[in-house]
């Protein structure tokens, strides 16, 4: 008997590529582990740097996890998750970007054997989330609070936190010098701790120790016209006017047409243009301001006009610097010179233009408005200064978090080993498969001290055995012991001032666990080519993305090239 042909339903358009199931999940895990292996060697004080250069010839030398992940052109959709958590860690707490990627990769590495053995990913995800919650609560119990300490003691603890962050950076050789500078900059902001109020300016030349801190605003001298050198370069208690208008003669931008009946009228038109610019300049001078800054150009006519009246001016000031000057001096940026009230004029105690290396810098000190600070960085190669900038940004973020949350934990892998011991002990009280998964999670936390040893050239197995023995003491005194990066042994990291804010470690564990659980929840990847409609517009499709179990239930639908079909 002849069989009837069953109708076919085309679900996805031609060219759709799908892969699903266990092989796809293992492939995603392998991709994430490969990304983690790229930056593994950058962790810790003995970490190595990565040199990244692009097709434009731009070169970046860095050991900052977020910077490296940003520069890597990761195209694997699952591995991009690790790039995102590095960015989020950098935005939230500023440091720990390498640690968060390493932890996420290690969680997935530990989960891989269970996936290969047929364990359902949701069981692993549930256990990992439970372990993360336990770990974060344990961090809260181990944290040492800075509350109740006097100002000097608190400042010393903040300097220690900054030194711990800078020890793994390119400027680690001068960590004491820069740590004090960073703490002083952050504390000088007072209640307004916005990171935008701390400017970092880079000047090539000199040594690192030639860097200095300005309690106020400093920015590079802008492009100037003839007559600038005749202007005064230092004022005490000057009035400051900030503008967002051009102060120069400009030709008509529109297609204006002027009809003249008498050639003598032409001169009146020329005079009108000069009268307009002189009227603006007169109003600026009558305001009493001795310093005039503008985001737009200040031409040669205005520059000479102000020089004749002992007024300092600068045009083309960068928007960020102009905003900082406005908040610091109490001035308001004006878009007109009409009706300049005294309320819109700012002031400061001292203004001066000083030489820094081969550059001239405008410096405002003693500002009465919102507190601000500027760090002027010195150094040799451009790549070195750029990395020093990134290093100081991390330290600034760490100190800000320590000030706001005021609790620290021992660094050097001590907190990771203690969390690992705590979770192993907790796993013994659980029956079933969850015991294995939480135990694997605990083992993954040891990746931080292990990598610190590997990067320093020490025997990681020997050091970890000593740490496990120390942390297993019933008295609990071993909870502060971590890796001694100098001798290759173990050390009380808290007593030796190797500290990090508790919020950094808690955020790293939470973010790494979420990323690992996200990757484990994906069992199908669909790549949908963006084909063209006849009118040239891209055809709507599902794009490139990852689909979780909610859409992964199309178990019977497969196909390559011709789309996905199911026999009815």
As annotated, the active-site residues are 64, 97-98, 394
DSSP letter at 211?
-
Say if strands 407-410 and 499-501 run parallel, antiparallel, or are unpaired: antiparallel
Q: Which of 492, 491, 483 is nearest to 450 (CA)?
A: 483
Residue 30, classified by CB atoms within 10 Å of its CB into exposed (0-12), middle (13-18) or buried (19+), is middle
Residue 26, CA distances (Å) to 59, 398, 438 in order: 34, 36, 20
Provide the H-helix boundaries in 117-188: 121-142, 151-166, 175-188
* 199: enclosing H helix or E strand: strand 198-204
Cβ neighbours for 536, distance < 8 A, ≥ 6 positions apart: none
The DSSP string of 551-566 is TTT-TT-B-BSS--EE
Q: Which residue has the tokens 């000083």?
A: 354
> What six digits make up the tokens of 372?
């601000």
Task: Say if residues 500 and 402 touch (Cβ distance below 8 Å).
Answer: no
Q: How many helices (H) and strands (E) does the chain have?
A: 16, 23
> Residue 252 region, left (φ>0) first, then alpha (ψ -120 to 50), else beta?
beta
Q: How far is it, in rounded angstroms, from Cα 358 to Cα 61?
A: 24
* 414: enclosing H helix or E strand: helix 414-427
Task: Say if residues 467 and 481 touch (Cβ distance below 8 Å).
Answer: yes
């Amino acid at each position: 008997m002849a069989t009837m042909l069953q109708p076919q339903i085309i679900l996805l358009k031609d060219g759709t590529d799908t892969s699903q199931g266990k092989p796809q999940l293992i492939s995603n895990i392998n991709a994430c582990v490969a990304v983690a292996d790229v930056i593994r060697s950058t962790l810790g004080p003995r970490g190595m740097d990565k040199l990244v250069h692009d097709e434009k010839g731009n070169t970046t030398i860095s050991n900052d996890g977020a910077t490296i992940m940003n520069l890597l052109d990761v195209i694997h959709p699952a591995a991009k998750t690790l790039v995102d958590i590095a960015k989020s860690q950098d935005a939230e707490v500023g440091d720990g970007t390498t640690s968060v990627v390493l932890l996420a990769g290690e969680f997935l590495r530990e989960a891989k054997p269970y996936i290969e053995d047929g364990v359902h990913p949701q069981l692993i995800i549930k256990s990992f989330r439970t372990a993360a919650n336990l770990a974060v609560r344990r961090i809260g119990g181990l944290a040492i609070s800075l509350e109740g300490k006097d100002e000097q003691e608190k400042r010393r603890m903040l300097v220690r936190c900054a030194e711990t962050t800078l020890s793994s950076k390119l400027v680690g050789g001068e960590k004491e010098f820069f740590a004090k500078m960073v703490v002083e900059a952050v504390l000088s902001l007072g209640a307004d701790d916005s990171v935008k109020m701390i400017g970092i300016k880079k000047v090539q030349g000199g040594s690192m120790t030639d860097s200095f801190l300005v309690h106020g605003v400093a920015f590079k001298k802008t492009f100037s016209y003839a007559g600038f050198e005749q202007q005064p370069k230092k004022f005490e208690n000057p009035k400051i006017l900030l503008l967002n208008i051009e102060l120069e003669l400009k030709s008509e931008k529109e297609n204006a047409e002027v009809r003249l009946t008498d050639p003598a009228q032409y001169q009146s038109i020329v005079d009108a243009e000069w009268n307009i610019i002189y009227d603006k300049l007169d109003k600026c001078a009558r305001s009493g301001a001795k310093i005039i800054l503008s985001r737009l150009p200040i031409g040669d006519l205005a520059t000479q006009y102000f020089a004749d009246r002992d007024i300092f001016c600068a045009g083309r000031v960068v928007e960020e610097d102009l905003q900082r000057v406005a908040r610091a001096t109490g001035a308001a940026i004006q878009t007109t010179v009409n009706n300049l009230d005294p309320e819109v004029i700012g002031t400061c105690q001292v203004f001066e233009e000083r030489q820094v290396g081969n550059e001239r810098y405008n410096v405002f000190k003693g500002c009465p408005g919102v507190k601000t600070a500027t760090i002027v960085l010195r150094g040799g190669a451009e790549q070195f200064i750029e990395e020093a900038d990134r290093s100081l940004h991390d330290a600034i973020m760490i100190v800000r978090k320590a000030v706001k949350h005021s609790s620290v934990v021992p660094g050097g892998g001590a907190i990771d080993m203690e969390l690992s011991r705590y979770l192993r002990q907790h796993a013994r009280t659980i029956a079933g498969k969850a015991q294995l998964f939480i135990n694997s999670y605990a083992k993954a936390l040891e990746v931080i001290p292990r990598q610190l040893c590997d990067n320093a050239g020490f025997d990681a197995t020997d050091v970890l055995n000593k740490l496990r023995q120390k942390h297993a003491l019933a008295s609990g005194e071993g909870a502060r012991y971590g890796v001694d990066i100098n001798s290759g042994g173990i050390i009380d990291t808290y007593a030796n001032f190797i500290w990090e804010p508790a919020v950094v470690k808690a955020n790293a564990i939470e973010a790494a666990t979420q990323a690992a659980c996200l990757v484990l929840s994906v069992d199908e990847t669909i790549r949908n080519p963006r084909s063209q409609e006849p009118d040239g517009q891209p055809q709507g499709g599902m794009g490139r993305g990852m689909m979780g179990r909610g859409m992964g239930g199309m178990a019977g639908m497969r196909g390559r090239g011709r789309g996905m079909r199911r026999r009815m």
